Amino acid sequence: MTCERSFSYKPFEAEALRGLAERLAAAAATDRNAQNRERWRRVNDLRLERPVVMCCSLPWNELNVDDELTLVCENGFLRRIETEMRRQLYMLRHMPMDMVVEPYVKCGVVMEETGYGADVDEYVIKTDETNSIAAHQYNQVIHSIGDVEKLRFSQVRYDAGATAEALSVCKEIFDGILDVAPVCVPDFIGDYGPWDYIVKLMGAGGIFINLIDQPELMKALAKRYHDIEADRLEQYERLGVMTQNLDNALIGSGGYGYTSEIPPVRPGVLSGCSNAQPARAGEQPARAVKAGDLWGSSRAQLFSDVSTEMFKEFAVDIEQDWLNRFPLSYYGCCEALDKKIPVLKKLKTLRKISISAWADPYNAAEQIDGGYVYSFKPDPAMLATDALDEDRVRKHLETAVGAARAFNCPMEIMLKTLSTVLYNPQKLWRWAEIAQEVVESA
C-alpha cells in the first residue's frame, strides 16, 4: 500500500466509474451472487458442498477484447479502482464460475513502510514487455550469519489524512450506487512465505546448497524474516487500521475468505472515518482488528523436492508461530504437498491445503480425508498451447474432483498463475465453461 497523494478527478472519470459501479451493483444484487457467497462459506466451513471454482492471477495484458479492459481514468488512484472494476465485469461476462461481487467499493487505507532494506541482485528476462510476469535470476547477497542483519525491521505509518481524502472522493463518486469500505489487509499476510523471499537473496541454487552446507544460516534467515513480519503485524495491530479478509478477498494462493467461524469485527480506528461502514448484524463493537480476526497463510514453494524431515525443520517448525496467530490458515501454492500433509496436520489453525497440478490428487485427498479444504490448482500450461485440448482439460479436472469426492473433501478449484494464453482469451473462457460443467455435475 503506497502513499497516494493526488485524489482530484475530472467529471468524465466520475461518469465512467459510476457506469461501471451500476453494473457491479446489479450483479451484486442477484440471487446467484448470494448463492455463490453461501457456497464458498460452506466449503470453508468444511461442509460437503459441490466444489467451487474461480480463477485469478491472469495475463490481463492478453485478454482485452472490444476495449472491455481499456482504462479511461487519468488519476492513478482512480485507475487502480477502475482496473479492479473492469476486471470484475470482464470475469462476470466471460468466466463467472463461482465468483462473488460485493456491493461496495474497496478503498485502500494509505500506509507507508520503510521496507526490508536488503538489496536484491537480479537479472530479469521478459518475453513480452506488456506482461507483468517475468523470469528472475537471483544472485547471492547473503553469505554468512553476519549478513542476516542486512534484513531490517520495517517501520509502518498510517496516513490518516490521505485515507480520509481517498474515502471522501470514493463516497462522492459512488454515492447512491455502491457503498465505500476502507480496506487494509497488509500484503504480507496473504504473501507470507520465508523461502519465497529468501530466494531473492540467495537464488534457488544457493538455498539448496546452503540447506546442507550452512543449515544454521538458513534457519537464522528464516527466523529473521519471521521476526520482521511478526513485528510488522504487531505495528498494524497497534495502529488499529486493519480490516478483515472474510469477504471476496483471496486467502493465500487460494479462494475467498467467507466463513462463519471467524466473527465479523467493526474496525476500531477506521470506524471513525466519515465513510466507514455501519455495524453489520452479529458484528462486535468497534475495536482494532487483530491477527485473531483474520485468515493467515504461508508457503514454501522451493521445498517441493526436499525431504519431509527438512520441510518440517526449515519450514513448518519456523512458520507455525506465525500461523498460530490466526484462527484459520491456508498453506501452500505451486509446490507438491501430497507427501507432506502429515507434517502440515501439526499446524493447529490449518484449514486449506494447496494441491498443485504436480501433486498426486488421490494421495492428497486420502491424507486430507475431509479434514481440510482441498484447494486444487489446475495445470495452467494447458492454456499455453495454440489450441485448447478440451478433453484433456476435462479429464484433468474430473480426476481431481473424483479424488476429493472419494474421500469427502470440501474442494475449491483455483486456476491461477497463468503467464500466457497466447493472446487467445477465448481459450480461457472455454476453460471456465468446462470447469463449471465439471463442478456442477460432481
Q: What is the pLDDT of residues 170-209, one digit of tens each?
A: 999 999 999 999 999 999 999 899 999 999 999 999 999 9
**Other beta carbons within 10 Å of 304:** 17
Cα(98)–Cα(54) distance, rounded to whole angstroms? 6
**Is pLDDT above 90 for 123?**
no
Which amino acid is residue 141, in one-letter code? V
- How far apart CA 315 and CA 11 sit, in angstroms, is 52
Q: Tens of pLDDT along 338-397?
A: 999 999 999 999 999 999 999 999 999 999 999 999 999 999 999 999 999 999 999 999
> Mapping DSSP to helix (H, G, I), strand (E, B) and coil, where does residue 169 land?
helix
Query: b or e along 322-357 (b: 16 or more beta carbons within 10 Å of the residue's beta carbon)?
Result: bbebbbbbbbbbbbbbbbbbebbeebebbbbbbbbb
pLDDT digits (tens, 9 = 90+) for 295-353: 999 999 999 889 999 999 999 999 999 999 999 999 999 999 999 999 999 999 999 99
- Cα–Cα distance, 61 to 15 (Å, whole number): 25
Q: At residue 169, does pLDDT exceed 90?
A: yes
Domain 11-440 classified CATH 3.20.20.210?
Answer: yes
Find cell 488519476 and name the residue: 75
For the purposes of burial, counting CB atoms within 10 Å of the CB of 132, is it exposed (0-12), middle (13-18) or buried (19 or more)? Answer: exposed
* pLDDT (average), residues 46-75: 96
pLDDT interval class at 218 (50, 70, 90): very high
Distance CA 263, CA 251 (A): 17
DSSP 3-state helix, strand, coil percentages of the chain (rounded to 5)? Answer: 45, 15, 40
